[in-house]
């Protein structure tokens, strides 16, 4: 009997130096798909994805730039999605974080392949050219991934400080992590206001703009001018967006989907936490599958499961024990779990 699964797609920053060669390592059988992406990139005057993936060494200036990273992650993640064993898993819904919303649209066929890479590449180029501000991460939870009132208070105070000095927003609710964003004045004020946590927070994300905030309203307007509603169609698989809204297969409002994707999704908080809550409570899957590249979303997903005491989880150690005994979260970017998802 098949296992029901919700597939989750990663956001920016998940293709790092350890992921170099991901496509050649896992997806030599996806040559037609990769060639299609490469051709789009060549036609747009951009470096082909296969060339970036096959580089001799990882260069952040090249691989982590918005225009390259977005397309790299799209290609790796959608190739992973195609590799999931459909005889073993019944995919009941798809969702993602930030950039992962565009990948969700592609996986559900709300964007046919040619339109999907057009959207991803266009948005990557717009962010590269027009992106402003930055993002930093700070935990809502303690080191055992339990809610921390002290941390939550600190985040609230930091946002107040950031808004006093400049612009500051909650960009993403990322499981047990808050992704905060703002202009440089707001970012600096938040960094000063936040106490050090776990020896590495607050942590500023390199090469990230103030995604999911009003600071990118001009990017949203540019996206509407570059991309038309005709790119979109009704999804084949239910999708969960960055508000927790479910877009049903076959019955979704295409104009609303277009407006959300290029409007609210760009300028308002992306609630990845809510999307995971909806995934587990509304679809009750037998497992969650996290597409690669990388597996950094694993911790935020686990933290969200813990916050709802899903499967009796109350701490990081509980989650680790569950994963060893009977993995509920299967990360395709991890060698020890990838084989559990593919034929």
Chosen CATH of 134-208 out of 3.30.70, 1.10.287, 3.40.640, 2.60.40: 3.30.70
The full DSSP string for 99-147 is HHHHHHHHHTTSS-HHHHHHHHHHHHHHHHHH--SEEEEEESB-TTS-B
For residue 184, the surrounding DSSP H or E stretch is helix 184-193
Give the whole-angstrom CA distance, residue 198 versus residue 325. Answer: 28
- Provide the 10 A C-beta neighbour count for residue 31: 12
pLDDT tens string for the chain (343 positions)?
A: 899 999 999 999 899 999 999 999 999 999 999 999 999 999 999 999 999 999 999 999 999 999 999 999 999 999 999 999 999 999 999 999 999 999 999 999 999 999 999 999 999 999 999 999 999 999 999 999 999 999 999 999 999 999 999 999 999 999 999 999 999 999 999 999 999 999 999 999 998 999 999 999 999 999 999 999 999 999 999 999 999 999 998 778 999 999 999 999 999 999 999 999 999 999 999 999 999 999 999 999 999 999 999 999 999 999 999 999 999 999 999 999 999 999 8
- pLDDT score for 121: 95
E-strand stretches of 251-325: 270-271, 287-290
Q: Which of 179, 51, 65 is nearest to 121 (CA)?
A: 65
Q: Is 226 within 8 Å of 185 (Cβ atoms)? A: no
Task: Give the per-residue pLDDT at 343.
Answer: 86
Fold of 3-130+216-338: Malonyl-Coenzyme A Acyl Carrier Protein; domain 2 (3.40.366)
The confidence score (pLDDT) of residue 120 equals 97
Query: Kindly report the CA angle at 295 between 294 and 301, in degrees rounded to 5?
Result: 150
Q: For residues 120 and 74, is the Cβ–Cβ distance under 8 A?
A: yes
pLDDT at site 251: 77
End-to-end distance of the chain based on CA atoms, in angstroms? 15
Please give the torsion angle defined by the CA atoms of residues 40, 43, 46 and 47, in that order, rounded to the nearest 10 degrees. Answer: 70
Residues in the chain, overall count:
343
pLDDT, position 248: 94
**All CATH 3.40.366.10 domain ranges in the chain, comma separated:** 3-130+216-338
Please, where in the chain does CATH 3.30.70 lie? 134-208
Looking up tokens 């019955």 gives 251
């Amino acid at each position: 009997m098949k296992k029901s699964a919700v597939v989750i797609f990663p956001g920016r920053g998940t293709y790092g130096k350890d992921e170099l060669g991901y496509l050649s390592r896992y997806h030599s059988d996806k040559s037609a798909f990769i060639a299609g992406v490469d051709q789009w990139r060549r036609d747009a005057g951009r470096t082909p994805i296969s060339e970036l993936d096959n580089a001799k060494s990882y260069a952040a200036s090249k691989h982590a730039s918005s225009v390259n990273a977005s397309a790299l992650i799209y290609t790796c993640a959608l190739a992973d999605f195609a590799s999931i064993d459909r005889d073993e898993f019944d995919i009941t819904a798809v969702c993602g974080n930030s950039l992962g919303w565009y990948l969700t649209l592609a996986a559900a066929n709300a964007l046919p392949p040619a339109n999907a890479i057009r959207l991803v590449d266009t948005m990557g180029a717009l962010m590269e050219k027009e992106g402003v501000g930055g993002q930093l991460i700070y935990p809502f939870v303690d080191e055992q991934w339990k809610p921390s009132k002290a941390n939550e208070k600190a985040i609230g105070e930091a946002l107040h400080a950031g808004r006093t000095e400049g612009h500051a927003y909650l960009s993403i609710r990322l499981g047990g992590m808050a992704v905060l964003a703002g202009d440089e004045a707001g970012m600096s004020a938040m960094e000063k206001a936040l106490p050090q946590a776990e020896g590495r927070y607050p942590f500023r994300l390199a090469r990230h703009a103030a995604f999911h905030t009003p600071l990118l309203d001009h990017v949203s307007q540019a996206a509407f001018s570059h991309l038309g509603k005709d790119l979109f169609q009704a999804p084949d698989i239910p999708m969960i967006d960055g508000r927790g809204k479910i877009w049903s297969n076959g019955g979704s409002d295409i104009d609303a989907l277009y407006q959300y994707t290029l409007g609210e999704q760009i300028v308002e908080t992306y609630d990845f936490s809510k999307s995971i809550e909806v995934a587990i409570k509304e679809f009750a899957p037998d497992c969650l599958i996290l597409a690669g590249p990388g597996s950094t979303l694993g911790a935020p997903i686990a933290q969200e499961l813990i916050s709802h005491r899903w499967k009796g989880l109350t701490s990081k150690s509980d989650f680790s024990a569950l994963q060893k005994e009977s993995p509920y979260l299967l990360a395709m970017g991890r060698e020890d779990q990838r084989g559990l998802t593919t034929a």
